[in-house]
Amino acid sequence: MDKISNSEDDNGALHNVESFVLDRLSSKYDSRGDTSISIGELTESIDTTMSPLIDQAIEDLIAQGLIHSSDGENYQITQDGIDELENRKREAIPI
């Protein structure tokens, strides 16, 4: 049973990291000028306990078409990513 709990915790943590990445990229998308964020900026701004999941989160988001990178270093959110972030915000459970 612990394995199931750990798996659920890992999925929840990954979901949180994905949401964080989408949120950061979305805020940059709204600004003028360069709309991309480097992997370094993302890694520096995330909690150290979540940083091991950043690479997996980015890979998953790219695979889903929610973010993209033309150079493998700088990332931008897609319109689908903006839509997904809005869905996640609506589905969030109030504390």
CB contact burial 55-66 (16+ within 10 A = b; e otherwise): eebbebbbeeeb
- The whole-number pLDDT of residue 91 equals 83
Provide the mean pLDDT of the chain. 84
The C-alpha atoms of residue 9 and residue 53 are separated, in whole angstroms, by 12
Q: Which domains does the chain have, with CATH numbers?
A: 2-91 (1.10.10.10)
The answer to whether the predicted template modeling score (pTM) of the entire model surpasses 0.75 is yes
- The whole-number pLDDT of residue 29 equals 73
- Percentage of the chain beyond pLDDT 70 is 81
Q: How does pLDDT run across 57-78, given as a tens digit for each residue?
A: 999 999 999 999 999 899 999 9
- The whole-number pLDDT of residue 45 equals 86
